[in-house]
C-alpha cells in the first residue's frame, strides 16, 4: 500500500504549490511493482494515442455514415423501391436505435469476458458485412432485418 507525503502547502502564511511529493511503496521489491518512469509512461501513452485514435476515428466516421445513409437512400427512391408507406420508413429507421441502446451494456460485459482481441474485430467484420448487405435488400422485412443487425454490431462496437 502506497503512502503519500506532501510538503506543507502553507509556508509563512501564503498558499503555494507543494514543493515535493514522496511516494513510498512497501512492496517495491515485488514483481508487480511498476518499473517505469513518468516520462516512459507518457511516451507509451502518446504512441498508443497516435496509433489508436486515427483508427477509431475512421471507424466512428464509417459507422456514422452508414447510420445516416438510409436518409440518402430515401431521397434516391427507397420509398418507391421497397414500398415504404405510412410509418414503415420510421420503423426501419428507429429499430436501429432501439437495438443499439439495448446491446451497448451487454456488449461491454461480453467484451470483458472474451477480450477485445477477438470480439472487436468480429463486431467490425459483422458491421462491414451488414453494411454491404444493406445494398441488396429487396423488401421492407429485409431492410428491417438489416437495420436490426446493423444496430447489433454497431452498438457492440461503439
Residue numbers of the domain that contains 128:
52-157
Arithmetic mean of pLDDT, 133-158? 90
Note whether residue 16 is domain-resident.
Answer: no
Which of the 8 DSSP states describes residue 135? G
CA torsion 74-80-86-88 (nearest 10°) is -60
CB neighbours of 63 closer than 8 A, spacing ≥ 6?
127, 154, 157, 158
d(CA 63, CA 76): 20
d(CA 154, CA 101): 10
**pLDDT tens, 75-121?**
888 888 888 888 999 999 899 999 999 998 999 899 899 888 888 88
Arithmetic mean of pLDDT, 18-32? 54
Note whether residue 134 is domain-resident.
Answer: yes
Note whether residue 87 is domain-resident.
Answer: yes
Note whether residue 100 is domain-resident.
Answer: yes
pLDDT reported for residue 155: 86
CA torsion 62-66-69-71 (nearest 10°) is -120
Instruction: Using pLDDT thresholds of 50, 70 and 90, give the confidence band for residue 24.
Output: low
Instruction: Using pLDDT thresholds of 50, 70 and 90, give the confidence band for residue 62.
Output: confident
Note whether residue 41 is domain-resident.
Answer: no
Note whether residue 85 is domain-resident.
Answer: yes
Closest CA to 130 of 149, 112, 143, 111: 149
| Number of domains the chain is built from | 1
Q: Which of 18-32, 40-54, 119-133 shows the lowest per-residue confidence on average (mean pLDDT)?
A: 18-32
- Mean pLDDT (the chain, rounded): 80
Give the predicted TM-score (pTM) of the model.
0.67
Note whether residue 142 is domain-resident.
Answer: yes
Is 138 in contact with 86 (CB distance < 8 Å)?
A: no
Arithmetic mean of pLDDT, 134-140? 91
Note whether residue 137 is domain-resident.
Answer: yes
Amino acid at each position: 500500500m502506497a503512502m503519500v507525503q506532501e510538503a506543507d502547502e502553507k509556508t509563512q502564511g501564503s498558499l503555494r504549490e507543494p514543493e515535493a511529493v514522496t511516494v513510498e511503496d512497501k512492496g517495491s521489491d515485488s514483481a508487480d511493482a511498476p518499473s517505469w518512469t513518468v516520462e516512459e509512461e507518457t511516451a507509451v501513452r502518446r504512441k498508443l494515442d497516435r496509433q489508436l485514435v486515427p483508427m477509431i476515428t475512421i471507424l466512428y466516421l464509417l459507422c456514422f455514415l452508414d447510420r445516416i445513409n438510409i436518409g440518402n437512400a430515401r431521397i434516391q427512391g427507397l420509398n418507391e423501391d421497397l414500398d415504404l408507406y405510412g410509418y414503415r420508413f420510421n420503423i426501419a429507421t428507429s429499430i436501429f436505435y432501439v437495438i443499439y441502446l439495448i446491446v451497448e451494456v451487454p456488449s461491454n460485459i461480453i467484451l470483458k469476458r472474451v477480450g477485445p482481441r477477438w470480439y472487436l474485430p468480429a463486431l467490425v467484420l459483422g458491421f462491414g458485412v451488414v453494411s454491404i448487405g444493406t445494398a441488396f435488400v429487396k423488401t421492407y422485412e429485409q431492410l428491417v432485418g438489416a437495420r436490426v443487425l446493423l444496430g447489433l454490431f454497431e452498438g457492440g462496437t461503439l
